Structure 1
């Protein structure tokens, strides 16, 4: 996995504790962002539907995580999954532990 888009994705993931690759109209993306809003934890949303390279970024995310769907939520550089996964981790208390 190399090239300018792969490098960009790696840099974006490393840019914050929580990075969410998202689309503005996606209900699962909204669900993931609401979890972090509830616990008042700052995150960096990367809205792929607002970017010219969004499709290419999704291709790289598919290569990295095994899924092309959004959201792709990263905590401390590790993909924790999508909206449902993020909500489940929050409800179990695991997400809060990961963020400490």
Structure 2
């Protein structure tokens, strides 16, 4: 239960929360896009944390998504990199602004 509580706290405490793995090209693309948009975001690198696999399991319970990146904006699950990229020109600026990340 501790991992689920920790994951939920990270989601609740950050306007934009990205659960990532440092070597993942899709995660890099997500972080690049958010950086390009000058968004404030927090990253939890699952492969660099002792509890990374437990957090990843907890995220699957929270979001029904096991893959990374696992992205939350304004405490709302967005999905992965392809979902974020699809929002890039339409809803993403508004979502980031509403979450207070711009």
Q: State yes or no: 1:83 paired with 2:77.
A: no
Distance 1:58 1:33 in 2: 18
Cα deviation, 1:17-50, whole Å, max 9, x if unaligned, reads 0000000000110111111111111100000000
1:96 lines up with 2:86 in the alignment: no
How do 1:53-72 residues align onto structure 2 when only pairs under 5 Å count?
53-72=51-70
Secondary structure of the residue that 1:73 maps to in structure 2? Answer: strand
Q: Matches of 2:58 and 2:46 in 1, distance apart?
A: 12
- For these two proteins, the number of residue pairs brought into alignment is 97
Q: Among 35, 45, 49, which residue is 1:37 paired with?
A: 35
Any unmatched runs of 5+ in structure 2?
Answer: 98-102
Instruction: Return 5+ residue gaps in structure 1 as ranges.
Output: none
Q: 1:74 pairs with 72, 75, 83, which one?
A: 72
Q: TM-score, normalised by structure 2?
A: 0.91
Alignment of 1:5-44 (within 5 A): 5-44=3-42
